[in-house]
């Protein structure tokens, strides 16, 4: 039987989910609102959520069914006739409630709101892996796996059967025979391995604001792809005129002053794939972000590398062009002219500002590849 | 005769032309190893507009990446009299190239205008003004300056490669 509090809690979660969905565009554009809590939880401020609460009267100031009042006399309230000091505030009151949401739940909410299709892994289901599923109960096992609820249910069942259960004084005392333990079965499951490779231009023309856009977009992309694949791997490449594979911290906090050669990032990415992620075993997603101000003669070399090396290896190649103070660069036009706007593997997106992140994510992940 | 004097002479020879019949007029002056090429799109009694102003010098043929960066840094301090200050945005020591741009660019609604000065090893400085409107490729636009500023600009660019 479901307890009342569980029903209430479920209802509360539904309301929270609804509020998050309603405000998702805002959360995506201003990801500073979202606080990370460990690896799997985020904390989200949900505005305007009225939580029911008791309202108390004042002690000794009367109430229903007490005192000398006549029928129709207003109850409670009165008594304070003095003139108060100070004025009412002019700003609306704040009703911000921080709720913890798992990344999995957040991904589901995002998928519903952005109408994202579930990803179909690319032909990797012939790779299988043994996985332990805790889906059965046994009479023996380690204490760490003791199933308390089942143990007490078994004890209750035994006491009722032996007529030792007193409903007016319900004491359940499990004995050794009542103990139940969780147990696992090994199942063979198809495994789809996936790697996400982020490439970012960190040349002098990429400002901190632009990198913030990249960071925000990468967070939501990670959230969705992690929901779709178990144990997804994420790798980072930064480049100006030269490229290197770096860790996450370096990726988001490096600013170089060198020129922009996108081909250097493509070369580094191709080398990384060749060394560590054979295309026969991995679903490969590449996300590249730049202001598109590639130095003149490098466009052709970049496009050649993309067409001949990266595209055949990837499930999806997404290029996000982030607008710099000098406007959006010309690289995206070069890609459009070569690959068109409806290429099966390339998705192009111009990200003018933070508000455009929402549509960019929808564009990138809406392909279901 | 200095390069600036040669340019003054050529300007006087052109006279006042608000529109050149073939779209532009090229000024071209060389002294020793330095050459100045400028494509004028308009010339008035007070000022002119140019498509580009280029200084070529063999003195930079073997310049190191650091030397090219020094020239870029010096020019960003020197050229304070244009519509916007310019600053080094990107510098590629390996290729020996420095890109300077207006910092910040001039912004009107959805369009931005800015100077771009490229300094390349091999000996070229090229100054242009660009306009970028959202959704449209950036395009070079004439840079308008007074005659006095134009001559000062020629002098400073030439001095930078000396």
Q: Edge to edge, what strands does the sheet with A233-239 contain?
A: A243-246, A233-239, A193-201, A282-290, A316-322, A346-351
| Contacts of residue A89, Cβ cutoff 8 Å, sequence gap at least 6 | none
Cross-chain CB nearest to A258 (options B91, B112, B114):
B91
Q: How many CB atoms lie within 10 A of CB B66?
A: 11
More confident residue, A126 or A302: A302
Q: Is the pLDDT of residue A115 over 80?
A: no
pLDDT average, residue stretch A123-142: 73
Please state the domain count of chain B: 1
What percentage of chain A has pLDDT greater than the value 70?
77
What percentage of chain A has pLDDT greater than the value 90?
27
Q: Do B92 and A259 touch (CB under 8 A)?
A: yes
- Angular region, A23: left φ>0, alpha ψ -120 to 50, beta rest: alpha
Could you tell me the two tokens for A23? 């405000």
In degrees, to the nearest 5, what angle opens at C-alpha B81 toward C-alphas B80 and B87?
35
The DSSP string of B8-22 is: HHHHHHH--BSS-TT
| Alpha-helical regions (H) of chain A | 4-22, 24-29, 103-114, 148-161, 208-228, 248-253, 262-276, 298-305, 331-339, 357-365
Query: What is d(CA A369, CA A116) in angstroms, rounded to the nearest whole number?
Result: 11
Interface mutation target, options B66, B76, B89, chain A, most CBs of A under 10 Å: B89
- A340 near A353, Cβ under 8 Å? no
Q: Would you state the pLDDT for residue A160?
A: 92
Give the number of residues written for chain B: 162
| Alpha-helical regions (H) of B39-146 | 65-78
Q: Which of A106, A2, A103, A96 is nearest to A45 (CA)?
A: A96
- Choose the weakest-confidence range: A7-16, A214-223, A336-345: A7-16
Q: Would you state the pLDDT for residue A340?
A: 85
Interface mutation target, options A201, A327, A328, A341, chain B, most CBs of B under 10 Å: A327
Give yes or no for a cis peptide into A243 (omega within 30° of 0): no
Which residue, chain included where needed, has tokens 């997106």? A349
Show residues of chain A in contact with B114, CB under 8 Å: 326
3-class SS of residue B136: coil
Q: Would you state the pLDDT for residue A86?
A: 58
| Domain A193-365 architecture | 3-Layer(aba) Sandwich (3.40)
Low-confidence residues in chain B, pLDDT < 70: 17-19, 21-22
Q: Would you state the pLDDT for residue A116?
A: 67
| Alpha-helical regions (H) of A314-365 | 331-339, 357-365
Taking CA atoms, what residue in A is nearest to B101?
Answer: A326
| Contacts of residue A33, Cβ cutoff 8 Å, sequence gap at least 6 | A26, A27, A44, A45
More confident residue, A111 or A271: A271
pLDDT average, residue stretch A7-34: 76
Q: Distance (Å) from the C-alpha of residue A356 to the closest C-alpha of chain B? A: 14
Q: Is the pLDDT of residue A238 over 90?
A: yes
Largest CA distance in chain A: 94
Query: What is d(CA A165, CA A174) in angstroms, rounded to the nearest whole number?
Result: 12
Q: How far is CA A254 from CA A236, A316, A323, in A?
A: 12, 26, 18
Q: Do A258 and B112 touch (CB under 8 A)?
A: no
* pTM beyond 0.90, yes or no: no
More confident residue, A369 or A343: A343
Q: Would you state the pLDDT for residue B66?
A: 87
Q: Would you state the pLDDT for residue A194?
A: 83
Taking CA atoms, what residue in B is nearest to A261?
Answer: B92
Taking CA atoms, what residue in B is nearest to A207?
Answer: B89
Query: What is d(CA A196, CA A193) in angstroms, rounded to the nearest whole number?
Result: 10
Domain boundaries, chain A: 1-51+95-115, 128-189, 193-365
Could you list the beta-strand ranges (E) of A88-180: 97-102, 128-138
Flag whether the ipTM exceeds 0.90: no
3-class SS of residue B150: helix
pLDDT in tens, A262-286: 999 999 999 999 999 988 888 899 9
CA B127 to the chain's CA centroid: 3
Q: How confident is the model at residue A67 (pLDDT cuts 50, 70, 90)?
A: low
pLDDT in tens, A282-337: 889 999 999 998 887 889 999 999 999 999 999 889 999 998 888 888 899 999 99
More confident residue, A255 or A195: A195
Is the dihedral angle over the CA atoms A271, A277, A280, A282 positive or is it negative? negative
Interface mutation target, options A202, A290, A325, chain B, most CBs of B under 10 Å: A325
Q: Do B134 and A328 touch (CB under 8 A)?
A: yes
Q: How many CB atoms lie within 10 A of CB A156?
A: 15
- Choose the weakest-confidence range: A9-13, A60-64, B11-15: A60-64
Range of the domain at B111: 3-161
């Amino acid at each position: 039987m479901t307890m009342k509090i569980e029903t209430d809690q479920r209802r509360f979660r539904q309301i929270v989910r609804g509020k998050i969905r309603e405000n998702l565009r805002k959360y995506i554009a201003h990801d500073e609102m979202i606080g990370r809590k460990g690896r799997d939880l985020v904390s989200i401020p949900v505005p305007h959520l009225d939580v029911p609460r008791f309202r108390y009267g004042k002690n000794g100031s009367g109430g229903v069914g007490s005192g000398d009042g006549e029928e129709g006399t207003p109850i409670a309230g009165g008594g304070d006739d003095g003139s108060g000091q100070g004025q009412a505030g002019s700003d609306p009151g704040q009703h911000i409630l921080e709720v913890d949401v798992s990344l999995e739940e957040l991904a589901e909410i995002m998928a519903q709101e952005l109408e994202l299709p579930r990803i179909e892994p690319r032909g990797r289901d012939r790779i299988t892996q043994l996985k332990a599923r805790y889906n059965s109960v046994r009479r023996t096992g380690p204490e760490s796996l003791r199933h308390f609820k089942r143990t007490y249910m078994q004890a209750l069942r035994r006491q009722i059967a032996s007529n030792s259960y007193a409903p007016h004084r319900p004491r359940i005392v499990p004995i050794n025979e009542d103990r139940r333990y969780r147990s696992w079965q090994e199942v063979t499951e198809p495994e789809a391995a996936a790697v996400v490779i982020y490439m970012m231009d960190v040349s002098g023309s990429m400002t901190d604001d632009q990198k913030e856009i990249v960071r925000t977009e990468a967070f939501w992309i990670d959230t969705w792809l992690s929901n779709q694949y178990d144990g997804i791997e994420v790798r980072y490449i930064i480049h100006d005129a030269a490229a290197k594979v770096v860790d996450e911290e370096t990726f988001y906090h490096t600013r170089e002053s060198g020129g922009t050669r996108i081909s250097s990032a493509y070369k580094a990415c191709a080398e990384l794939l060749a060394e560590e992620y054979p295309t026969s075993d991995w679903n490969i997603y590449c996300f590249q972000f730049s202001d598109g101000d590639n130095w003149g003669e490098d466009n052709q070399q970049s496009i050649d590398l993309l067409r001949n090396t990266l595209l055949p290896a990837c499930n999806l190649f997404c290029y996000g062009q982030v607008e710099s103070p000098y406007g959006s660069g010309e690289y995206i036009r070069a890609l459009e002219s070569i690959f068109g706007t409806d290429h099966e593997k390339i998705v192009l997106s111009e990200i003018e500002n933070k508000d455009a992140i929402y549509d960019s994510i929808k564009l990138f992940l809406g392909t279901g590849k | 005769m200095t390069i600036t004097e040669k340019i003054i002479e050529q300007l006087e020879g052109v006279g006042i032309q608000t529109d050149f019949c073939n779209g532009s007029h090229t000024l071209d002056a060389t002294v020793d190893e330095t050459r100045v090429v400028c494509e004028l799109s308009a010339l008035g009694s007070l000022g002119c507009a140019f498509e580009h102003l280029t200084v070529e010098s063999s003195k930079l043929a073997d310049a190191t990446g650091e030397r090219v960066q020094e020239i870029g840094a010096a020019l960003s301090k020197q050229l304070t009299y244009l519509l916007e200050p310019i600053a080094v945005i990107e510098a590629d020591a390996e290729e020996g190239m420095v890109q300077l741009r207006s910092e910040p660019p001039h912004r009107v609604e959805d369009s931005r205008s800015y100077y771009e000065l490229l300094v390349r090893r091999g000996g070229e400085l090229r100054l242009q003004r660009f306009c970028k409107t959202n959704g449209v490729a950036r395009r070079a636009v004439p840079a308008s300056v007074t005659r006095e500023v134009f001559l000062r600009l020629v002098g400073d660019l030439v001095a930078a490669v000396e």
